[in-house]
């Protein structure tokens, strides 16, 4: 099975979840209850089974949260690539990753001083302050960067058909998206991913938000 790179978008940050704390003498923003992925969801024709998520979600703990998905020479790379860290790291990481029912839940920590060393980091801090003050309540999206094998197998889950199943998921990072396009303009085939061995593969974008909304609409029609 070929290793595929997938960016899963989620709507995870709103003002009610944000607080601040001091770690090692430095101010940090904390966003509670972000949901990067849920069990048995079907996105882009692929099933993300509960058992596969249960076997892999712990690997999100401590993962870097770049802004946005890191790229080098026009190609997507791991957030752990030194060039990615130099250009995209804004002092953010995932912590307290756990399962709550069928959801993976995590907290987002952001070091304010580190974020303010980069233009995008400054924008992020401004947005968070605006959200806390109530002057800008537009939510911030997250996008989980993961690698997976696609097993070609058809079926149906939660009233949605799928043609492949995600296996052996490896979570690389969770990107912060400040300039998320509207739900009516989903991105397809967003580019190429280069792994640590220099191998290239296509990157595709899936939307947890759209999939969840589709499920709610389907259930509403049946009720």
- For residues 161-189, give the mean pLDDT: 73
Rounded Cα–Cα distance for residues 209 and 194 (Å): 27
Rounded Cα–Cα distance for residues 197 and 73 (Å): 16
Q: How many domains does the chain have?
A: 1
Q: Cβ distance 129 to 18 under 8 Å?
A: no
pLDDT above 90: residue 13? no
pLDDT above 80: residue 11? no
- Considering only residues 148 and 215, tell me which one the structure prediction assigns the higher pLDDT: 148
Question: φ, ψ for residue 157 (rounded to 5)?
Answer: -140, 130
Whether omega for the bond prior to residue 205 falls within 30 degrees of 0, making it cis, is: no
**How many H helices and E strands in the chain?**
5, 13
pLDDT in tens, 30-61: 999 888 888 998 887 889 999 999 999 999 99
- The reported pTM is 0.81
pLDDT above 70: residue 183? no
Which uninterrupted H or E stretch holds 124? helix 119-133
Give the domain extent around 145. 3-222
């Amino acid at each position: 099975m070929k290793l595929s790179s997938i960016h899963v978008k989620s709507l995870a940050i709103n003002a009610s979840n944000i607080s601040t704390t001091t770690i090692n003498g430095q101010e940090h923003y904390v966003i509670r209850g972000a949901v990067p992925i849920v069990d048995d969801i079907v996105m882009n024709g692929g099933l993300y089974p509960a058992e596969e998520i249960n076997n892999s979600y712990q690997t999100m703990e401590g993962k870097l949260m770049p802004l946005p998905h890191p790229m080098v020479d026009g190609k997507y790379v791991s957030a752990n690539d030194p060039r990615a860290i130099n250009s995209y790291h804004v002092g953010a990481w995932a912590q307290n990753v756990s399962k709550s029912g069928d959801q993976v839940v995590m907290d987002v920590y952001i070091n304010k001083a580190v974020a303010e060393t980069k233009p995008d980091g400054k924008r992020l801090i401004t947005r968070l302050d605006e959200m806390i003050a109530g002057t800008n309540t537009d939510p911030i999206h997250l996008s989980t960067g993961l690698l997976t094998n696609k097993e070609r197998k058809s079926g149906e889950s939660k009233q949605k058909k799928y043609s492949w199943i995600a296996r052996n998921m490896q979570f690389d990072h969770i990107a912060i998206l400040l300039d998320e396009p509207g739900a009516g303009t989903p991105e397809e085939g967003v580019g190429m991913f280069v792994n640590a061995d220099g191998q290239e593969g296509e990157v595709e974008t899936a939307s947890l938000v759209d999939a969840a909304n589709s499920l709610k609409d389907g259930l509403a029609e049946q009720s």
